[in-house]
Chains A and B, each alone.
Chain A
Amino acid sequence: MVNHPLTPEQLAVIASPLDAKIFLEGHAGAGKTTAGMERLLSLFEAGIPGYQILLLVPQRTLATPYYDALQSPTAAAGGSVTVLTIGGLAKRMVELFWPLISAEAGFAHPNRPPNFLTLETAQYFMARLVRPLLDQGFFESLTIERNRLYSQILDNLNKAAVVGFPHTEISLKLKSAWAGDPGQAHVYEDAQHCADLFRAYCLERNLLDFSLQLEIFLEHLWPAPICRDYLVENYRHMIVDNLEEDVPVTFDLLREWIPELESGLFIYDLEAGYRRFMGADPQTTYQIKEHCDQTVTFFESFSSSEEMLSVGYALAQSLHPEKEPPSLHPSALPLHPSASHYYPQMLDWVVEQIAALVEEGTPPGEIVVLSSFLSDALRFSLAERLDGMGIPTCSHRPSRSLREEPATQALLTLAALAHPQWGLSPSKFDLAYALIQAIEGLDLVRAQLLTEIVYKERDGALTPFDQINPETQERITYQLGNLYQELYRWLNAYTQGAPGELDHFFSRLFGEVLSQPGFGFHVDYDAGEVAANLIESVRKFRWAVGESLEAEGISLGKEYLQMVADGVIAAQYIYSWQTQPEDAVFLAPAYTFLMRNRPVEYQFWLDIGSRGWYERIRQPLTHPYVLSRHWELHRPWTDADEYDASRDSLYRLALGLIRRCRSGIYLGLSQLGEQGYEHKGLLLKIIDRALYSVSSEQ
């Protein structure tokens, strides 16, 4: 489980008394999470049942090491531990105590059950409410895609909830920090109006989006003795990891909860805090320290070498020359820069270097390729090139939406075919495309040939394989033809029966056909994952809007397909982690790698001139800093603030990456980025400076 022997400091934390409340801080790679895991196991060993332990994390994936530890054969049996985020906790409590607070919280129908919204179903309702307002001239001075507009209004509500201010103050805060053209500030009033409208709509219909769940929990349930007693009596021990990534209201909650706990371990990563755009507030959550009995600091680094740490110092110094003292540099930094003029040249260089490293014995799993934004074009180009050299790759793709996944498109096409009553006949191209996904080994040429013969676009009907002429059958090959025939039979049988729910349809299609040997999803784990996500998405959509659509006489399946086409739903990221080959080069956006929290030997940083390495996503209707707890009302947000924020996030990012790297960083610079623009971002500048200062010292 643990590669290194535990240090005395770690052992001290693990073996601390069962009533200790410890604040554990240190840099990434200092062994804090390892100590947390071992502490959890030691609680079990001390006979504390799992149901008395609450593990709180800001994002579920950050609990992965704990899940792994609990599943290890050496772990003592202690029953299941509750692992939650603050949002998950809120939802669970609202579900449990709904009858007690539904009236008090202002719901119009307190006796009816709550309807929990996901991000996408919330967006669906927001779109329904805001669309007519746009036609009335709302947001006229903004240049923005509609779906981005809806999500920013929701984001404001969520920020109000996680920061802990009334949602009615959103526009006040945003307006008071606005430093641009005064005429533009009215868009915040429009945004406030939409947020108010949405909240009223939710209260009227028992709909609970993330913000409402959290607000009800914090304002109505936590103060209520019945709920508070339930929580403090149930969970006697708490471990909180990655506190620095958590939101301010978590601090509010913990501050009141800690005195009631028997033991607590609160782990804080210094100089991290990457989820600011989600409301993370490392400054506020750091104050938990004052509510603990003791503070322990880990200084060692298990995940980085002296040389690598010297890179960190050099970059930090060139980023903050006024703050950081110049450090002693080694003779050369383990940085390997390479400047290309064109983007494809940089990719060739990356592939060459990786091949050389693998050739020299570095396992592919010890190499990551990081960029600020992982476009499909980049992922595809790299994966193909490395694949050509026999080097496996894996990636997380939060940059591609569910609706753009080929597997999703194939499933939606087959759904349209199986429900002719919707009148959504797919095009021949759609069908050929779906067949390639559905049937393993079917190429585009044969898929198109098959489609031409078996599909009539006008009525959306298929014909069986055995009805086509033998010569064409031979061209398509009997093996592939038989698989098509199986799919045909299944769809045909489904169409004959009464139509089921769309999510049930997908489950059956996946389970009975597509996941079977010979079909496309059988060996494609990604596609299986996508199918599961799609089913989940449809199911939540059905739960949230099924009733109202039924009342309006609209088919849920058809509405779902149309909303996907409009980009209102299934445009979100894939939520679940995908199963990945263990020993493969990992291609990911830098922040994804950080949140994966696994050190490696070598990192490749691509396109270091890009501003995406440090720049927040600019949104004209919301603002993570202005809506944070630390921004004073009426203080304008200026360019200097923006620059400082960029510098700060680059500092955290660069150090976070370096602390997760043992041997060396390859820096790919393409003068003209993927989009053909010249890049001259801040990361490039500080690297240039660091290299220059080392070479000057030589």
Chain B
Amino acid sequence: MTDFLPRPAQQAVLEYTGGTMGISAVPGSGKTWTLSALAARLISEGCLQQDQEILIVTLTNSAVDNFAARIEGFLRHQERRPLLPYYRVRTLHGLSHDIVRDRPELVGLDSNFQILDEREANAIRDEVAAAWLRVNPYALDDYLDSELDEGRRDWVRRQPLVEQVKSIALSFIRTAKDMQLTPETLRRQLDTLPLPLPLAEMGAAMYSDYQRALAYRGAVDFDDLIRLALQALRSDDDLLNRLREMWPFILEDEAQDSSKLQEEILRLLAGPSGNWVRVGDPNQAIYESFTTADPRHLRQFMSVADFPQELPNSGRSTRSIMDVANYLIDWARGEHPIIEARDALDLPHILPTPEGDPQLNPPDAPEGIHLIEIRFTPEAEILAVADSIERWLGQHSEETIAALTPRNVRGFALNDELRRRGIETVDSLLRSSSSTRFTAGALGNILHYLADPGSARKLARVYRVWRRADRGDSDLWKQVEATAKILGGCNHVEDFLHPGPGGDWLDDLREQDILSGELDQLEEFRLVLSRWLKTIELPIDQMVLTLSQELFTSPNDLAISHKLAVMLRRVRNMHPEWHLPELTGELAVIAKNERRFLGFSEDDTGFDPDKHKGKVVISTIHKAKGLEWDRVYLMSVNNYDFPSGMEYDNYIPEKWFVRNRLNLEAETLAQLEAAFSRDAYEWYAEGGPTYEARMEYVRERLRLLYVGITRARKELIITWNTGRRGDLQAAIPLVALQAFWKNK
């Protein structure tokens, strides 16, 4: 505990001894440090009995590792370190898995139940949605724009409507699970209603088909895991009591992203007089895809917590950047033209760190703020930002820089332009999960070779994979490339791998004095490879695990390898006729990122901006959460990506082919909720949910802007563009910020 010098606000948190505590923490306020220090303090001061643990729940796998490392750091001076740490850090999915795994049969699962990854779940859901539409091609006709002629309608039914129904399936099934509904209970309820709810009927049918498809595979999805964990806790008091006994303190990070179910699970675990500390920043509640999370849960908790706290100090940004962010809060709260959006952002303001703090704010530099008013076309915006980056990079090779966009597609466009200019970029945050791609890619190359072991070309690729650690050393890597090239030219691979009477290929190289510096490496490679070749006797999952144990050491890689192994095993079970070549093909698809493949958390990359000094990191604003750079560009801040509830604004979820600009997804979810509503005044009224969803979107976009701004340490540049048709405006909050900054 000696290396951590808490600020007064942090000290107040560290003095916690029990009860409920809600902490509102501004960006960069050191909440992970504080929470880790609190866990370490509770452990080292003997607040735990034997067999008890502190349960820490956080959002991502990388945060899990981060927490564990920090707590270990605090505890390293302890006299006796047990084999078993007195804490458990889990994502919500990890925690749910622990609970369900404890008593699977309690919730109708077999011991060896499988967890479907998002990619597979999406594929099944999409198929279910498409099948529903095939069977009921005209069921949604009433919702189509009456202006559409029959030919156009027909096309809509076959194309965009399919996509719309798929996205409804996702949100409907997720919400139904969040409401703890099974397809059967939902069906029963719908049958009791006096009036039919056609959209809810559609959702119920898809939900039922989807769950049947999962059961057939002996699998659950991530949402089931959470739902079933709660079900298990509710159905067995003994289980709940045992877990309460085991986890006398619960510390929750990123609580603004908590869903109702997460809150219920933790509330149950904490018990009526439980010890539960929740830290989060409601201002940073932003979501990339449909979620049932809502920052209001956390605000509500804070209002009734025994000990409400704030962590308002942040040493991250300059005074000017903090001023811009704080002004956005004030403007939203007091001046946003739409009343419903005024609770999007909340106090506290971000305050600088006090004097003497180990993390002082960078010296103020108002000249580092540029809120650009120019009406760029989309193309011109890219060029202008690229020009600016190019100029800046020349003089700041030791600093960090990022360009953040609301959507992937803009990021890719900027990436192309920068690369065209020979500027080094880091785009891994734009892609779904680069570590997955990397792991799957490395394994894929080896499996690809094992499926076709006579191929010298594939052998050469395996050699590069095997030597990948030398990539950082350019001289060494040149040598590796040269060796791989010669290996790729080996006509008879068997003479290298299993030399017979025909002679040893390596001896030939030796005699010809080729690659003499690399011969030892090749000898070793041959040994490794002959070991790998033996793995083809193993079932596919165990083969992948075995190879991964030779290839990787990081838990992330191992966890991903395991998921790949399980997935391939399932594919093999579903297609018993498939062998290594076909299975490798499946892996290759994942490696090329053509399909999404996610691990337990949606963000398992553990990205560190400081490792990319002098290179341009390109990311969506969502993916940049939790990260910071010296200079940040926020792009496309117009009324398309940041609408403000104005009459002329467009909303992505409202489709052009749906009548009255209805948001079909929101309308469907409202019908689902109405089906279970007991209040006649809450009965479904068409159009209302669309408006509600619009307001929710406006609020989320305000927070997104806030998150974007608070990524910057010293310099912030915000630009916008007029869109493809040239009719877009600067986002209203941006205009407000510009005015504020000018006046300042």
Q: What is A's interface to B at a CB cutoff of 8 Å?
A: 140-145, 148, 179-181, 183-184, 187, 337, 339, 341-345, 347, 375-377, 380-381, 384, 400, 404, 406, 427, 429-430, 433, 443-446, 448-449, 474-475, 477, 565-567, 609, 611, 617-620, 623, 638-640, 642-643, 669, 672, 674-678, 680, 684-685, 687-689, 691-692, 695
CB distance from A399 to the nearest CB of B (A): 10
Compute how far the CA of A172 lies from the CA of B88 in the bound complex, rounded to whole angstroms.
40
Is B577 touching A638 in the complex (CB atoms < 8 A)? no
Q: What is the chain B residue whose CB lies nearest that of A669?
A: B83
What sequence of 0s and 1s flags, for each residue 528-565 of chain B, a beta carbon within 8 Å of any chain A beta carbon? Answer: 00010111111100110110011001110011111100
Is B83 touching A687 in the complex (CB atoms < 8 A)? yes
Is B498 touching A142 in the complex (CB atoms < 8 A)? no
CB distance from B570 to the nearest CB of A (A): 10
CB distance from B323 to the nearest CB of A (A): 43
Is A380 touching B535 in the complex (CB atoms < 8 A)? yes
Q: What is the chain A residue whose CB lies nearest that of B88?
A: A680
Would you call B108 an interface residue if the criterion is a C-beta within 8 Å of the partner chain's C-beta atoms?
A: yes
Instruction: Give chain B residues whose Cβ lies under 8 Å from the Cβ of A337.
Output: 83
Instruction: Give chain B residues whose Cβ lies under 8 Å from the Cβ of A404.
Output: 539
Instruction: Give chain B residues whose Cβ lies under 8 Å from the Cβ of A678.
Output: 88
Is A475 touching B577 in the complex (CB atoms < 8 A)? no
Would you call B109 an interface residue if the criterion is a C-beta within 8 Å of the partner chain's C-beta atoms?
A: yes
Give which listed residue, B84, B110, B452, B573, contacts A148 with CB less than 8 A: B110
Would you call B358 an interface residue if the criterion is a C-beta within 8 Å of the partner chain's C-beta atoms?
A: no
Is B453 touching A342 in the complex (CB atoms < 8 A)? no
Q: Which 9 A-B pairs have the closest CB atoms?
A: A676-B559, A639-B238, A639-B239, A377-B545, A145-B218, A376-B542, A618-B111, A377-B542, A445-B494
Number of B residues, CB within 8 Å of A: 82
Is B553 touching A344 in the complex (CB atoms < 8 A)? yes
Given A143-B219, A344-B549, A676-B559; A565-B576 close (CB under 8 Å) = yes
Instruction: Give chain B residues whose Cβ lies under 8 Å from the Cβ of A443.
Output: 494, 497-498, 533
Q: Which of B98-106, B292-300, B629-637, B682-690 contacts A (4 or more CB under 8 A)?
A: B98-106
Compute how far the CA of A70 lies from the CA of B52 in the bound complex, rounded to whole angstroms.
54
Would you call B242 an interface residue if the criterion is a C-beta within 8 Å of the partner chain's C-beta atoms?
A: yes
Is A619 touching B111 in the complex (CB atoms < 8 A)? yes
Would you call B594 an interface residue if the criterion is a C-beta within 8 Å of the partner chain's C-beta atoms?
A: no
Is B501 touching A429 in the complex (CB atoms < 8 A)? no
* Chain B positions 565-585 with a Cβ under 8 Å from a chain A Cβ: 573, 576-577, 579-581
Compute how far the CA of A339 lies from the CA of B494 in the bound complex, rounded to whole angstroms.
41
CB distance from B504 to the nearest CB of A (A): 14
CB distance from B45 to the nearest CB of A (A): 18
Would you call B236 an interface residue if the criterion is a C-beta within 8 Å of the partner chain's C-beta atoms?
A: yes
Is B498 touching A618 in the complex (CB atoms < 8 A)? no
Is B110 touching A475 in the complex (CB atoms < 8 A)? no
Compute how far the CA of A680 lies from the CA of B555 in the bound complex, rounded to whole angstroms.
16
Instruction: Give chain A residues whose Cβ lies under 8 Å from the Cβ of B734.
Output: none
Q: What is the chain A residue whose CB lies nearest that of B538?
A: A376
CB distance from A630 to the nearest CB of B (A): 19
Compute how far the CA of A339 lies from the CA of B82 in the bound complex, rounded to whole angstroms.
10
Compute how far the CA of A431 lies from the CA of B516 in the bound complex, rounded to whole angstroms.
38
Q: What is B's interface to A at a CB cutoff of 8 Å?
A: 50-51, 53, 80, 82-84, 88, 94, 97, 101, 103-113, 182, 184, 212, 214-215, 217-220, 231-232, 235-239, 241-242, 450-454, 492-494, 497-498, 500-502, 531, 533-539, 542-543, 545-546, 549-550, 553-555, 558-563, 573, 576-577, 579-581
Compute how far the CA of A620 lies from the CA of B97 in the bound complex, rounded to whole angstroms.
17
Is A684 touching B562 in the complex (CB atoms < 8 A)? no
Give which listed residue, A141, A339, A429, A639, contacts B236 with CB less than 8 A: A639
A-B pairs with beta carbons under 8 Å apart, 28 shown: A140-B215, A142-B108, A143-B215, A145-B217, A179-B235, A180-B107, A181-B107, A342-B554, A377-B538, A380-B538, A429-B579, A429-B581, A433-B579, A444-B533, A448-B452, A448-B454, A477-B500, A566-B576, A567-B576, A611-B101, A617-B111, A618-B104, A618-B105, A638-B236, A639-B239, A640-B242, A676-B562, A685-B84
Q: What is the chain B residue whose CB lies nearest that of A638?
A: B238
Is B536 touching A444 in the complex (CB atoms < 8 A)? yes
Q: What is the chain B residue whose CB lies nearest that of A691?
A: B83
Known: A620-B109, A674-B545; 9 extra A-B contacts, CB below 8 A, are A143-B215, A143-B220, A180-B108, A341-B555, A344-B549, A347-B549, A433-B536, A445-B497, A684-B83
Instruction: Give chain A residues whose Cβ lies under 8 Å from the Cβ of B497.
Output: 443, 445
Given A142-B108, A375-B545, A448-B453; A430-B579 close (CB under 8 Å) = yes
Compute how far the CA of A639 lies from the CA of B563 in the bound complex, rounded to whole angstroms.
29
Is B50 touching A639 in the complex (CB atoms < 8 A)? no
Q: What is the chain B residue whose CB lies nearest that of A134?
A: B216
CB distance from B574 to the nearest CB of A (A): 11
Instruction: Give chain A residues whose Cβ lies under 8 Å from the Cβ of B549.
Output: 343-344, 347, 377, 381
Give which listed residue, A429, A566, A691, contacts B451 with CB less than 8 A: A429
Q: What is the chain A residue whose CB lies nearest that of B501?
A: A477
Q: What is the chain A residue whose CB lies nearest that of B82?
A: A688
Q: What is the chain B residue whose CB lies nearest that of A449?
A: B454
Compute how far the CA of A343 lies from the CA of B546 in the bound complex, rounded to whole angstroms.
11
Give which listed residue, A143, A341, A669, A676, contacts B113 with CB less than 8 A: A143
Instruction: Give chain B residues whose Cβ lies under 8 Å from the Cβ of A611.
Output: 101
Compute how far the CA of A517 lies from the CA of B25 in the bound complex, rounded to whole angstroms.
75
Compute how far the CA of A474 lies from the CA of B492 in the bound complex, rounded to whole angstroms.
11
Instruction: Give chain A residues whose Cβ lies under 8 Å from the Cβ of B531.
Output: 384
Q: What is the chain B residue whose CB lies nearest that of A676?
A: B559
Is B103 touching A618 in the complex (CB atoms < 8 A)? yes
Is B452 touching A643 in the complex (CB atoms < 8 A)? no
Compute how far the CA of A346 lies from the CA of B396 in the bound complex, rounded to whole angstroms.
45
CB distance from B100 to the nearest CB of A (A): 10
CB distance from A132 to the nearest CB of B (A): 15
Instruction: Give chain A residues whose Cβ lies under 8 Å from the Cβ of B579.
Output: 427, 429-430, 433
Instruction: Give chain A residues whose Cβ lies under 8 Å from the Cβ of B543.
Output: 377
Instruction: Give chain A residues whose Cβ lies under 8 Å from the Cβ of B559.
Output: 672, 675-677
Instruction: Give chain A residues whose Cβ lies under 8 Å from the Cβ of B106.
Output: 179-180
Instruction: Give chain B residues whose Cβ lies under 8 Å from the Cβ of A677.
Output: 94, 97, 559
Given A180-B107, A475-B492, A688-B84; A140-B212 close (CB under 8 Å) = yes
Is B238 touching A144 in the complex (CB atoms < 8 A)? no
Compute how far the CA of A620 lies from the CA of B110 in the bound complex, rounded to whole angstroms.
6
Compute how far the CA of A689 lies from the CA of B83 in the bound complex, rounded to whole angstroms.
9
Is A567 touching B573 in the complex (CB atoms < 8 A)? yes
Compute how far the CA of A435 lies from the CA of B156 in the bound complex, rounded to whole angstroms.
54
Interface centre among B84, B241, B534, B542, by most A CB within 10 Å? B84
Is A145 touching B110 in the complex (CB atoms < 8 A)? yes
Is A675 touching B182 in the complex (CB atoms < 8 A)? no
Is A143 touching B242 in the complex (CB atoms < 8 A)? no
Compute how far the CA of A565 lies from the CA of B576 in the bound complex, rounded to whole angstroms.
6
Instruction: Give chain B residues whose Cβ lies under 8 Å from the Cβ of A345.
Output: 553
Is B562 touching A675 in the complex (CB atoms < 8 A)? yes
Instruction: Give chain A residues whose Cβ lies under 8 Å from the Cβ of B220.
Output: 143
Instruction: Give chain B residues whose Cβ lies under 8 Å from the Cβ of A474.
Output: 502
Is A688 touching B533 in the complex (CB atoms < 8 A)? no
Compute how far the CA of A30 lies from the CA of B242 in the bound complex, rounded to whole angstroms.
38
Compute how far the CA of A446 lies from the CA of B497 in the bound complex, rounded to whole angstroms.
10
Is B51 touching A475 in the complex (CB atoms < 8 A)? no
Instruction: Give chain A residues whose Cβ lies under 8 Å from the Cβ of B560.
Output: 676
Is B83 touching A187 in the complex (CB atoms < 8 A)? no
Is A445 touching B535 in the complex (CB atoms < 8 A)? no
Compute how far the CA of A611 lies from the CA of B533 in the bound complex, rounded to whole angstroms.
32
Instruction: Give chain B residues whose Cβ lies under 8 Å from the Cβ of A144.
Output: 109-110, 113, 215, 218
Compute how far the CA of A430 lies from the CA of B576 in the bound complex, rounded to whole angstroms.
12
Given A342-B553, A639-B242; A180-B236 close (CB under 8 Å) = yes
Interface centre among A376, A381, A429, A444, by most B CB within 10 Å? A444
Instruction: Give chain B residues whose Cβ lies under 8 Å from the Cβ of A609.
Output: 84
Compute how far the CA of A380 lies from the CA of B534 in the bound complex, rounded to whole angstroms.
9
Interface centre among B109, B184, B543, by most A CB within 10 Å? B109
Compute how far the CA of A631 lies from the CA of B500 in the bound complex, rounded to whole angstroms.
66
Give which listed residue, B217, B538, B558, B581, contacts A676 with CB less than 8 A: B558
Is B80 touching A692 in the complex (CB atoms < 8 A)? yes
Is A695 touching B109 in the complex (CB atoms < 8 A)? no
CB distance from B7 to the nearest CB of A (A): 32
